[in-house]
């Protein structure tokens, strides 16, 4: 286990609210979906998104994954869809950058 793993569940700047360093409060898990600020309850069926500039993964909820700061908690398929749409538009930008790089060689 990595120390400070709890910091991985922060959704920095998304909702304009930094999480408290208080360890009891930092257990609150907030949805990373655009324009969504739902907080995860005990029995909610949430999803996890793991993405990088060229790949987008949706995973079943797994508390162990929260130590990874690339994980974005999502309250459901609607927020997953919104985040995926955002990923696709970012990907188009990335593709055009890659194309420029390829043409250069
Ligand atoms: Zn949400």
The DSSP result for 43-72, as a single string, is T---EEEEEETTEEEEEE--GGGGG-TTEE
pLDDT per position as a tens digit, 62-103: 878 878 888 899 999 999 999 999 999 988 887 787 788 887
Residue 45: pLDDT band (50, 70, 90) is: confident
Separation of 2 CA from ligand 1 center, angstroms?
Answer: 27
- Average pLDDT value for residue range 14-18: 48
Separation of 52 CA from ligand 1 center, angstroms?
Answer: 20
Separation of 63 CA from ligand 1 center, angstroms?
Answer: 17
Which helix (H) or strand (E) segment holds residue 100: the answer is helix 77-104
Separation of 35 CA from ligand 1 center, angstroms?
Answer: 8
- Look over the chain and give the mean of its residue pLDDT values, rounded to a whole number: 78
* Percent of residues, the chain, with pLDDT higher than 70: 73
DSSP 11: -
Measured in degrees and rounded to the nearest 5, phi and psi for residue 71 equal: -75, 135
Beta bridge partners of 49: 58, 72
Is the model more confident about 33 or about 13? 33
Which helix (H) or strand (E) segment holds residue 58: the answer is strand 55-60
Boundaries of every domain in the chain: 5-104
DSSP 73: E
Separation of 95 CA from ligand 1 center, angstroms?
Answer: 28
Separation of 13 CA from ligand 1 center, angstroms?
Answer: 15
Whole-prediction pTM value? Answer: 0.63
């Amino acid at each position: 286990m990595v120390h400070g793993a709890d910091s991985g569940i922060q959704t920095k700047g998304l909702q304009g609210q930094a999480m408290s360093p208080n360890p009891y409060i930092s257990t609150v898990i907030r949805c990373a979906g655009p324009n969504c600020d739902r907080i995860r309850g005990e029995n909610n069926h949430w999803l996890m998104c793991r993405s990088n500039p060229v790949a987008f993964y949706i995973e079943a909820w797994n508390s162990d994954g929260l130590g990874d700061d690339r994980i974005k908690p999502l309250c459901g398929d609607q927020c997953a869809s919104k985040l995926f749409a955002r990923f696709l538009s970012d990907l188009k930008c990335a593709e055009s950058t890659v194309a420029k790089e390829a043409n250069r060689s």
